[in-house]
C-alpha cells in the first residue's frame, strides 16, 4: 500500500473477489484510519487495470508509478493507444489475407481488453474470408471430379473448368472493397453537397448530418484504410468549415446582442440622466423656496433648506449648483441665528438692567423666618421610617412563607450539577415550591441540563439564587403561591406598585404670624445674569418675585391688600 498523501489522491491496486461493501483500514504513526466504501459497477474503460496489476505483480509494485488521478489517466491513455495500434495491425492483416496473424492479434486484444468490440469485427472478417476460400476449394474439387464431354467443333482445352489458381480471391475481395469504397464515397459526396446547399439555412442540423456521416466512415472497416482515411479527412474538413461558420454566426449574434444592449443601456442612461436633472431642478427650487421663507421670518426654514441642499448634493455630487445650494443655505442659516442671538442679547440685557434697578428697592426684614428645632426634624424622620416604602401587593400565608425563606441560610455544594437538579435541591432543602418556567426558558434557548458548579456555606437563599441565576440571565419571582424561575425579560413585565411618603418634604415653615414670604427660599434659588442679586431680596415686599433672566423659585405668600392690587 503506498503512503497516503494529503496533496494528491492515493491509488491502491488489488486483486480478488469484491464483496458488496469494502472496509479499508490504515495504521501508522500511532493512528488508525478506517473507511467503509461500496464498490462501483464494472466499467469498460477500466480494463487497463489488469495490465497495471500484472506489472505490479511482476515488479512488486515498483513499475506502477500511479501517483494520483492524473497519472492514472495517462496510464489509461497509453493502454488505449496500445490497443488501437494492435487493432490497426489486425485490420491490415485481414486486408492482406494474413488471417493467422489477424486472429493472433485479435486474441491478444481480447485478453487485454475483453470489452473491445472491434476484436469481433476482425475475427468475423477473417472467418468470412475462410468460408469463401473453403467454398471455392470445394467447388473446384467437385468440378475436377466431374468429366466434361467433348463437343464437336469446340477446342477441349478452352472448355476446361476454372481452377483455384485461375480464381484470385484477393482480387475479388479488392473489387468488393473498391465497390464499397466507391459507394461510401458517393454517399459522402452527396452529403457534403447537400450540406453546402442547405447548410447556411440550418447549420446545426447540417453539422449533425456530417457527424453521423463521419461516424459511418470511421466504422467502415471493410474498405481500404487509405480510402477511409481520405473520406474521413474530407468529412472532417467539411465539419471544420461548418463549425467555423457556426462560430462566425454565433459571434455575429453575440455582436448584435452587444450592440442592442449598448443601445438599450445608452437609452436607459439618458433617461436616468433626464430624470436626475428633473429631480435636481425640483430640489433646487425647494431650496430657494425655503430660503425665501427664512428671509421673511421662519427661523427653521434655513435648516430645512440645508437638508434639501445636501440631498441634492447626494444626487449630483460636486456640481456647481448643489455645492452653491449647500453653501448659501448654510451661510444664510448661520447669519440668521447670529442675528437672532444678537437681538435676544440686547433684549435680555435691558431686562437684566430693569431687574437690577428693581432689586435696589429696600424692604424691612420683618417678620424673621423661624425653623423648627433639630429635635423636631429628627423625630419626624424617625416616625416615618416604617413608611419609607409601602407595598400595595397583598401576600397570602404561603407567599409570606416563600418571602421568609429567602432570608434563611443555605448550604450548597454542586459540582457539574444540572440547572434543573440545582433548583430541585433548593426546593427540597427549604421545603418550598420552586418551579421552572420551561416555556419561557425554551423560548429563550436556556438549556436545563447545563452544568452548574457552586459551593457555599451559610448563605441566604436569596444570595444563592442570585449567584445561580444571574450568570444565565434568569431570575425568580413569587407568583401564584410558588417561586417561579423565569427569564429576566419575562420578570421585567411583571410590575408592582409601591408608595413612598414625602410629607416631611412639603411641611410648611412655621412663622410667628402670616408673613410676606421666605426671602425667595433664602435667596438661594433666585438670581439671574447678575449672580442672583435680585431674586431673594424681593421676597417680602413683592412676594418673592425672584430676579434675573432665569427667574427665582422662592416660596412666597401675598396678603389680601397686595392680592387686590
User: What pLDDT, in 10s, does the model give residues 144-190?
Assistant: 554 544 433 334 333 444 443 434 555 666 677 777 788 888 888 88
Average pLDDT over residues 539-553: 35
Query: Is the Cβ–Cβ distance between 563 and 543 less than 8 Å?
Result: no
Output the average pLDDT for the chain: 76
C-alpha radius of gyration, the chain, whole number: 56
Which single residue is written with the C-alpha cell 464498490?
39
- Give 553's pLDDT tier (boundaries 50, 70, 90): very low
More confident residue, 415 or 74: 415
In whole angstroms, what is the distance from residue 214 CA to residue 195 CA? 13
Supply the pLDDT for residue 355.
92
Supply the pLDDT for residue 551.
35
Query: What's the whole-model pTM score?
Result: 0.28
Residue 546: C-alpha distances to residues 360, 427, 537, 556 (Å)? 13, 63, 8, 10
Residue 77 C-alpha from the chain's centroid: 41
**Comparing C-alpha atoms, which of 252, 236, 235, 259 is closest to residue 200?**
252
Q: What percent of the chain has pLDDT over 70?
A: 77
In whole angstroms, what is the distance from residue 439 CA to residue 225 CA? 84
In whole angstroms, what is the distance from residue 288 CA to residue 281 CA? 11
In whole angstroms, what is the distance from residue 68 CA to residue 47 CA? 18
In whole angstroms, what is the distance from residue 405 CA to residue 236 CA? 98
**Comparing C-alpha atoms, which of 426, 431, 405 is closest to residue 485?**
426
DSSP codes of every residue in 219-286? H-TTS-HHHHHHHHHHHHHHHHHHHHHHHHHHHHHHHHHHHHHHHHHHHHHHHHHHHHHHHHHHHHHH
Helix (H) or strand (E) run with residue 73 in it: helix 68-95
Give first-to-last CA distance, the chain, whole Å. 118
In whole angstroms, what is the distance from residue 278 CA to residue 408 CA? 77
Of the listed ranges 19-28, 342-351, 545-554, the one predicted with least confidence: 545-554
Q: Which long-range contacts (CB under 8 A, 24 or more apart) does 543-548 make?
A: 543/516, 543/517, 544/517, 544/518, 544/519, 544/520, 545/520, 546/520, 547/355, 547/356, 547/358, 547/359, 548/352, 548/355
In whole angstroms, what is the distance from residue 484 CA to residue 491 CA? 10
Strands 498-499 and 390-391: antiparallel
- Encode pLDDT of 482-537 as tens digits: 899 998 888 888 777 777 666 666 655 554 444 333 333 333 333 333 333 333 33
More confident residue, 398 or 169: 398
Burial annotation 234-247 (CB, 10 A radius, 16+ → b, else e): bbeebbeebeeeee
**Treating both helix axes as pointing N-terminal to C-terminal, what angle do 48-59 and 68-95 enclose, rounded to 10 degrees?**
110
- Encode pLDDT of 208-239 as tens digits: 888 888 888 887 777 777 788 888 888 888 88
Supply the pLDDT for residue 564.
33
Which single residue is written with the C-alpha cell 433548583?
423
Supply the pLDDT for residue 501.
66
**Comparing C-alpha atoms, which of 70, 110, 76, 71 is closest to residue 90?**
110
More confident residue, 260 or 520: 260
Supply the pLDDT for residue 253.
87
- Give 353's pLDDT tier (boundaries 50, 70, 90): very high
In whole angstroms, what is the distance from residue 495 CA to residue 497 CA? 7
Please, which residues have CB within 8 angstroms of residue 53's CB and are 6 or more apart in sequence?
13, 15
Residue 481: CA count within 13 A, CB half-sphere: 3
The 3-state secondary structure of 490-502, one letter per residue:
HHHCCCCCEECCC
Question: Residue 474 above 70 pLDDT?
Answer: yes
Identify any residues that bridge with 454 across adjacent strands, giving them in sequence order: 414
- Encode pLDDT of 399-414 as tens digits: 888 888 889 998 888 8
Amino acid at each position: 500500500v503506498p503512503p497516503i498523501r494529503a496533496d494528491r489522491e492515493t491509488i491502491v491496486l488489488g486483486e480478488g473477489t469484491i464483496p458488496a461493501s469494502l472496509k479499508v483500514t490504515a495504521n501508522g504513526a500511532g493512528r488508525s484510519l478506517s473507511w467503509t466504501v461500496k464498490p462501483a459497477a464494472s466499467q469498460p474503460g477500466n480494463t487497463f487495470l489488469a495490465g497495471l496489476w500484472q506489472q505490479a505483480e511482476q515488479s512488486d509494485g515498483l513499475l506502477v508509478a500511479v501517483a494520483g488521478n492524473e497519472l492514472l489517466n495517462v496510464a489509461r491513455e497509453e493502454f488505449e493507444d496500445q490497443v488501437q495500434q494492435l487493432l490497426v495491425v489486425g485490420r491490415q492483416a485481414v486486408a492482406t489475407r494474413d488471417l493467422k496473424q489477424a486472429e493472433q492479434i485479435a486474441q491478444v486484444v481480447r485478453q487485454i481488453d475483453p470489452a473491445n468490440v472491434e476484436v469481433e469485427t476482425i475475427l468475423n472478417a477473417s472467418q468470412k474470408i475462410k468460408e469463401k476460400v473453403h467454398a471455392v476449394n470445394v467447388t473446384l474439387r467437385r468440378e475436377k471430379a466431374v468429366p466434361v464431354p467433348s463437343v464437336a467443333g469446340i477446342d477441349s482445352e478452352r472448355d476446361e473448368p476454372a481452377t483455384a489458381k485461375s480464381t484470385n480471391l484477393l482480387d475479388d475481395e479488392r473489387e468488393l472493397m473498391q465497390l464499397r469504397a466507391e459507394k461510401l464515397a458517393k454517399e459522402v459526396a452527396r452529403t457534403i453537397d447537400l450540406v453546402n446547399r442547405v447548410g447556411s439555412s440550418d447549420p446545426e442540423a447540417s453539422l449533425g448530418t456530417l457527424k453521423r456521416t463521419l461516424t459511418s466512415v470511421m466504422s467502415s472497416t471493410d474498405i481500404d484504410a487509405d480510402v477511409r482515411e481520405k473520406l474521413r479527412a474530407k468529412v472532417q474538413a467539411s465539419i471544420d468549415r461548418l463549425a467555423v461558420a457556426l462560430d462566425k454566426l454565433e459571434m455575429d449574434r453575440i455582436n448584435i446582442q452587444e450592440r442592442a444592449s449598448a443601445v438599450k443601456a445608452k437609452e436607459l442612461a439618458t433617461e436616468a440622466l433626464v430624470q436626475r436633472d428633473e429631480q435636481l431642478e425640483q430640489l433646487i427650487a425647494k431650496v430657494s423656496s425655503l430660503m425665501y421663507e427664512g428671509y421673511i421670518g421662519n427661523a427653521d426654514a434655513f435648516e430645512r433648506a440645508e437638508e434639501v441642499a445636501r440631498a441634492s448634493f447626494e444626487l449630483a455630487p460636486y456640481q456647481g449648483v448643489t455645492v452653491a445650494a449647500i453653501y448659501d443655505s448654510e451661510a444664510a442659516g448661520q447669519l440668521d441665528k447670529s442675528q437672532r442671538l444678537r437681538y435676544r442679547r440686547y433684549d435680555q440685557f435691558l431686562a437684566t438692567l430693569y431687574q437690577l434697578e428693581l432689586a435696589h428697592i429696600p424692604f424691612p426684614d420683618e417678620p424673621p423666618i423661624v425653623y423648627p428645632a433639630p429635635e423636631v426634624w429628627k423625630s419626624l424622620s424617625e416616625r416615618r421610617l416604617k413608611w419609607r416604602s409601602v407595598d400595595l401587593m397583598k401576600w397570602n400565608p404561603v407567599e409570606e412563607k416563600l418571602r421568609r425563606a429567602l432570608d434563611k441560610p443555605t448550604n450548597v455544594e454542586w459540582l457539574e450539577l444540572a440547572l434543573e437538579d440545582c433548583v430541585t435541591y433548593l426546593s427540597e432543602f427549604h421545603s418550598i415550591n420552586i418551579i421552572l418556567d420551561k416555556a419561557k426558558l425554551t423560548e429563550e434557548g436556556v438549556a436545563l441540563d447545563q452544568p452548574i458548579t457552586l459551593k457555599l456555606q451559610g448563605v441566604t437563599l436569596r444570595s444563592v439564587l442570585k449567584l445561580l441565576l444571574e450568570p444565565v440571565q434568569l431570575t425568580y419571582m413569587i407568583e401564584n403561591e410558588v417561586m417561579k424561575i423565569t427569564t429576566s425579560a419575562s420578570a421585567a413585565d411583571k410590575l408592582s406598585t409601591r408608595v413612598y411618603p414625602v410629607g416631611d418634604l412639603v411641611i410648611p415653615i412655621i412663622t410667628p404670624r402670616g408673613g410676606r414670604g421666605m426671602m425667595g427660599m433664602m435667596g438661594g434659588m433666585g438670581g439671574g445674569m447678575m449672580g442672583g442679586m435680585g431674586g431673594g431680596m424681593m421676597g417680602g415686599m413683592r412676594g418673592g418675585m425672584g430676579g434675573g433672566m432665569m427667574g427665582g423659585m422662592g416660596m412666597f405668600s401675598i396678603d389680601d391688600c397686595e392680592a387686590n392690587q
